[in-house]
Copies of this chain bind each other. A is one copy, B any other.
Amino acid sequence: MPQRPVDRRSGESAARPRQARGAGKAAPATSKVRPGPGSPPAAADARERIFLAAERLFAERGFDGVSVRDIVEAAAVNLAAISYYFGSKSELLLAVFAVRAKELNRERNALLREAEARHGGDAPLEEILRALMGPPILWRDPASGKDTASRFIARALAEATPDLREILETDVSHLRGFLAALARALPHLPRPEVCWALHFATALPHQCTDTHLKRLKALSDDGCDTRDVAAVLDRAVAYAIGGIEALGAPRRGAGDAKT
C-alpha cells in the first residue's frame, strides 16, 4: 500500500500535497485542457486545473450547485484528485477563497498606499474610493484575465456558505486601513457614519453581477454600456462620493453618533 497521504480522523501527518508543490514540476499528461472558449490550455498541472475549474463553476452556480464530478470533468482530472489535493470539496472552496481574497486585498491596499504616498500621507476621498472599488470592478473586464476571480468573490460574499460565514463576519482586518484613511479624509463625520460609508462603498461593486447588469441593460433598452468597466468605476466612485458627503448632512433621525 503506497502510503495514503492523509488520515482525516487523526490529524494531518503524511505528505499530501495540499499546498502547491515544489518549484519546477513535470506536466502530467493531457495538454488540451480547455477551461473556457478560446483560452490557451497552458501547462497547468492537476492542482491548478482543479483550482481554476472550481473557481469558475462556483462563481457560475454556487457551492451547492456544483458537484465534485462537475469539477473533475471540467478540470480533466480523476475524481479522487480533489480529495488528494485539497482534502474535500469545502476545503477546496476555502482554498480558492483564501487565494482570491488575499489577491483582492493586496491590490486594494497597494493602491491605497500609492495614493497616500502621492499626497504625502493623507489620500483624498476619491482616491480612497478608487482603491477600494477599482479592483473588483476593473477585474470584471475579461481582458484583465481576472473576471472569473471577480465573479467568484461576488458569489462567495453573496452566498456566505457556513464555512465562509465565520471568516466574512469576523475578519475585517483588511478593511481597517481603509477605515482609517476614510476617517482622515472625512474628519467632520462621526465614526459610525464613516463605517456606514465604508459599508456602502464595499457593497456597491459586487452588485455588478451579470444578472443585475443584464437587468440594467433590459431596463435601459440597451442604453447603458455595462461593459465599459472604467466608466462603471467612474460612475460608482462619483456616486459613492456624493452619497458619503450626504451622510454628513443632518437627517431626520440624527441618532447613532456615539463617537
Binding site for B on A (CB under 8 A): 62-65, 157-161, 165, 168-170, 172, 175-176, 179, 191-192, 195-196, 198-200, 203-204, 207, 209, 211-212, 214-216, 218-220, 223-225, 228, 230-231, 234-236, 238-247, 249, 251-253, 255-256, 258-259
Take A239-B247, A243-B242, A253-B234 as given contacts and tell me if A159 and B159 are in contact as well, using a CB distance cutoff of 8 Å. Answer: yes
Contact pick for A218, options B62, B172, B228, CB 8 Å? B172
B219 touches A235 (CB 8 A): no
With a cutoff of 8 Å between Cβ atoms, the chain B residues found around residue A172 in the complex are: 215, 218-219
- How far apart are the CA atoms of A219 and B158 in the complex, in Å? 18
Q: Select the residue from A175, A247, A256 with max chain B CB neighbours within 10 A.
A: A256
Contact pick for A235, options B158, B168, B196, B259, CB 8 Å? B196
A216 touches B199 (CB 8 A): yes
Query: What are 20 A-B residue pairs whose CB atoms fall within 8 Å in the complex?
Result: A62-B64, A159-B159, A169-B214, A191-B220, A192-B225, A195-B220, A195-B223, A196-B224, A198-B219, A199-B215, A199-B219, A200-B207, A223-B259, A225-B256, A230-B253, A235-B247, A238-B249, A239-B246, A240-B243, A242-B247
A179 touches B219 (CB 8 A): yes
With a cutoff of 8 Å between Cβ atoms, the chain B residues found around residue A170 in the complex are: 218
Min Cβ gap A17→B in Å is 29
With a cutoff of 8 Å between Cβ atoms, the chain B residues found around residue A168 in the complex are: 211, 215
Contact pick for A239, options B223, B243, B253, CB 8 Å? B243
Closest to A251 in B: B234
- How far apart are the CA atoms of A218 and B143 in the complex, in Å? 36
